[in-house]
């Protein structure tokens, strides 16, 4: 009996496909998410929109909060640690969270390295803006990838940008000769072996979700149309006027993304979405995606 | 032969691929019209609560119940097994209830306790088995045949035309569990 193998980690991520993972800050919100058909919840102290507004250093959530949320629902519970913060990751693993998001939404702890995720039994998901970043995270042992987008903005444009870039780079990689692949690896700062694996499969070897700015059922459907296996919704649900209804609508839209009639039906009368921010209004140093 | 794979959520691609490798026409089922002409139906792994809600909201529960009444064979892995069980010991809802077993959701524990191993499956032999936050069978009705156990708990069973497994044959390259199901569909 072997625990924490790569197959057990990546296989778990496969089970999320077609689903929605929702940010929650309380047990009540977690129950609403479960009832709305979320495949997992992300246990947080503050959603990204509040982290952005309040500034300061954003850290791992209080273990007490995470435990309360784990107790409240039967679906998997994820939690975020800071980039490179091995100790926070060990704490989350000890708590028994089901997945760790080594996340740019929190303030990075290590200016040089990400966590060596092969050393853990618990699986990790990491963000990426392009193929190079995705390949480096996979080389470090990430069992799942999500495109970063720009969290807490309610603006889907960066999520689309990152998915478009990733798709385009994978498409180019497919037709490359060995020599071209090696120099492309250098250009991307990506390990050759991981690129070889991606070339052979024609896609990432792990599940890839979209994140960062998804606020409506149509946003979720759009990301699925662009090839995302599923979506993370952060502030988009519980910063909106009617979270129950919106959560359920986003779940349905994620599953039935290629059924326009159904998308029209579920998009109706959802109340106010979260307030959005234009990316140009955010000072460069406050963009989370470059962390 | 056409086999449907419930495709509202879960590891649908892996099931489609496994069936495709056996030369089967496997079709994803997202709405009732996709059930036409299927000779068998597979419920994938995923989150049972999410899959159930999506089936309800997509108008698929009654058509699937009708398919079951017609005697079409059904196979469920992991969440699929939870959806097919008559009773869930640690959850207030009951889903399809096509097989007379009681299951415990997430009985193998949280993800850090998920594991892979080998199992002795009746009439097949040793197969690789991946257990992910897996449900275990805690009670079986008189008509249920237990096909495999892990540490004393039944993890694979069959009653009539319904087959269930706690683990994920679709995550391995061993196709013999599918061959067993396809024999039921022939």
| Average pLDDT score, chain A | 97
d(Cα B43, Cα B12) in Å, to the nearest integer? 8
Rounded distance, CA A31 to CA B133, Å? 19
Interface membership of B149 toward A (CB under 8 Å) = no
Q: What is the pLDDT of residues A178-203, one digit of tens each?
A: 999 999 999 999 999 999 999 999 99
User: Residue A208: its chain B contacts at CB < 8 A?
Assistant: none
Does residue A247 sit in helix, strand or coil? helix
Confidence of residue A162 (pLDDT cuts 50, 70, 90): very high
Q: Do B115 and A39 touch (CB under 8 A)?
A: no
Domains and their CATH numbers in chain B? 2-185 (3.40.50.880)
Q: Provide the pLDDT for residue A31.
A: 98
Residue B79: list chain A partners with CB under 8 A.
Answer: 15
Q: Is B34 on the interface with A (CB under 8 A)?
A: no
Q: What is the pLDDT of residue B59?
A: 97
Q: Do A18 and B53 touch (CB under 8 A)?
A: no
C-alpha A254, offset from chain centre: 14
Q: Identify whether B62 is a catalytic site residue.
A: no
CA–CA dist A82, A186 (Å, integer): 27
> 3-state class of B17 per DSSP?
helix
In angstroms, the CA B77 to CA A11 distance is 13
pLDDT at residue number B171: 97
Q: How far is B79 from chain A (nearest CA, A)?
A: 9
Contacts of A98 in chain B (CB under 8 A): 110-112, 133
Packed helices A86-95 and A63-72: angle between N→C axes, nearest 10 degrees: 30
Q: What is the mean pLDDT of chain B?
A: 97
- Please write the tens of the pLDDT for every residue from B98-115: 999 999 999 999 999 999
- Rounded CA separation A267/B106 (Å): 33
**Region B25-31: what's the mean pLDDT?**
98
Of B50, B130, B171, the CB nearest to A19: B50
Q: Do A18 and B12 touch (CB under 8 A)?
A: yes
Residue of B nearest to A122 (CA): B112
Is residue A24 a contact partner of residue A33, using CB atoms and an 8 Å limit?
yes
- Report the range of poorest mean pLDDT among A130-144, A274-288, B25-39, B131-145: A274-288
| Residue range A257-270: mean pLDDT, rounded | 97
Question: pTM score, two decimals?
Answer: 0.98
Contact assessment for residue B5 and residue B42, using Cβ atoms and an 8 Å cutoff? yes
Give, for A80, the enclosing helix (H) or strand (E): strand A77-82
Number of A/B CB contacts below 8 angstroms equals: 121
Q: Spot the catalytic one: A9, A64, A80, A117.
A: A80
Q: Dihedral sign, CA of A154, A156, A158, A163?
A: positive
Q: What Å distances lie between residue A179 and A24, A169, A190, B35, CA to CA?
A: 46, 16, 14, 48
Q: Is B49 on the interface with A (CB under 8 A)?
A: yes
| Residue B45 in tokens | 């792994």
Burial of A194 (0-12, 13-18, 19+ CB in 10 A): buried
Task: Please indicate whether, in this complex, the C-beta atoms of A98 and B11 are within 8 angstroms of each other.
Answer: no
* Interface ipTM: 0.97
Contact A8 B8 (CB under 8 A): no
B152 touches chain A (CB under 8 A): no
Query: In the structure, what pLDDT confidence band is assigned to residue B90 with cuts at 50, 70 and 90?
Result: very high
Closest to A165 in 3D by CA, of A151, A177, A148: A148
Q: Which of B47, B115, B118, B150 to mutate to test the interface with A (most CBs of A within 10 A)?
A: B47
Q: Which helix (H) or strand (E) holds A199?
A: helix A192-201
pLDDT digits (tens, 9 = 90+) for A41-63: 999 999 999 999 998 999 999 99
Specify the length of chain B in residues.
186
Residue A80 appears among annotated catalytic residues = yes
Interface contact B59, partner A, CB < 8 A = no
User: Is residue B119 very low, low, confident or very high in pLDDT (cuts 50, 70, 90)?
Assistant: very high
User: Which B residues 74-133 touch A at CB under 8 Å?
Assistant: 78-79, 90-91, 105-106, 110-117, 130, 132-133
For residue range A12-30, list pLDDT tens digits in order. Answer: 999 999 999 999 999 999 9
Give the minimum alpha-carbon distance from A240 to chain B in angstroms, rounded to a whole number: 21
Given B30, B91, B111, which is nearest A12 (Cβ)? B111
**A83-94 per-position pLDDT tens digit:** 999 999 999 999
From chain B, the residues in CB contact with A8 under 8 A are: 114-116, 130, 132
Residue B115 phi/psi, 5-degree rounding, is: -155, 165
A→B contacts (Cβ < 8 Å), by residue, are 1-5, 7-8, 11-12, 14-19, 34, 36-40, 74-76, 93, 96-99, 121-123, 248, 251-252, 255-256, 259
């Amino acid at each position: 009996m072997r625990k924490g193998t790569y197959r057990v980690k990546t296989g778990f991520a496969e089970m999320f496909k077609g689903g929605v993972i929702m940010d929650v800050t309380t047990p009540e919100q977690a129950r609403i998410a479960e009832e709305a058909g979320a495949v997992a919840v992300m246990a947080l102290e503050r959603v990204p929109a509040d982290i952005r507004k309040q500034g300061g250093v954003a850290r791992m959530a209080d273990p007490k909060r995470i435990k309360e949320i784990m107790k409240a629902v039967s679906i998997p519970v994820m939690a975020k640690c800071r980039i490179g913060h091995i100790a926070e990751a060990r704490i989350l693993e000890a708590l028994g969270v089901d997945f760790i998001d080594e996340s740019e939404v929190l303030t990075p702890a290590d200016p040089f390295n990400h966590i060596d995720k092969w050393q853990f039994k618990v699986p990790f998901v990491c963000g990426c803006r392009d193929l190079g970043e995705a390949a480096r995270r996979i080389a470090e042992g990430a069992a799942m990838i999500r495109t970063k987008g720009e969290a807490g903005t309610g603006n889907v444009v960066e999520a689309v940008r990152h998915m478009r870039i990733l798709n385009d780079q994978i498409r180019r990689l497919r037709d490359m000769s060995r020599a071209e692949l090696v120099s492309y690896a250098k250009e991307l700062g990506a390990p050759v072996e991981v690129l070889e694996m991606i070339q052979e499969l024609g896609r990432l070897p792990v599940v890839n979700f979209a994140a960062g700015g998804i606020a409506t059922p149509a946003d979720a459907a759009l990301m699925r149309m662009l090839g995302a296996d599923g979506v993370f919704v952060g502030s988009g649900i519980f910063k909106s006027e009617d979270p129950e209804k919106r959560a359920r609508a986003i779940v349905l839209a994620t599953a039935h993304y290629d059924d326009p009639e159904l998308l029209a039906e579920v998009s109706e009368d959802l109340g106010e979405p979260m307030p959005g921010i234009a990316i140009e209004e955010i000072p460069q140093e406050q963009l989370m995606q470059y962390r | 032969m056409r086999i449907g794979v419930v495709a509202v959520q879960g590891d649908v691609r892996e099931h489609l691929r496994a069936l495709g490798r056996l030369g089967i026409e496997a079709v994803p089922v997202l709405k009732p019209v996709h059930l036409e002409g299927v000779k068998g139906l597979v419920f994938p792994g995923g989150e049972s609560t999410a899959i159930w809600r999506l089936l309800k909201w997509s108008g698929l529960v009654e058509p699937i119940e009708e398919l079951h009444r017609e005697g079409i064979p059904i196979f469920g892995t992991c969440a699929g097994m939870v959806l097919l069980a008559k009773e869930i010991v640690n959850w207030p809802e009951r889903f399809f209830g096509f097989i007379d077993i009681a299951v415990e959701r997430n009985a193998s524990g949280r993800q850090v306790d998920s594991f892979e191993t080998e199992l002795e499956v009746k009439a097949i032999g040793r197969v690789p088995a991946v257990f992910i936050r897996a449900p275990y069978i805690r009670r079986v009705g008189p008509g249920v045949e237990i096909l495999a156990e892990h540490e004393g708990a039944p993890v694979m069973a069959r009653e009539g035309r319904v087959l269930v497994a706690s683990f994920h044959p679709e995550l391995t390259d061993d196709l013999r569990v599918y061959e067993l199901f396809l024999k039921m569909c022939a």
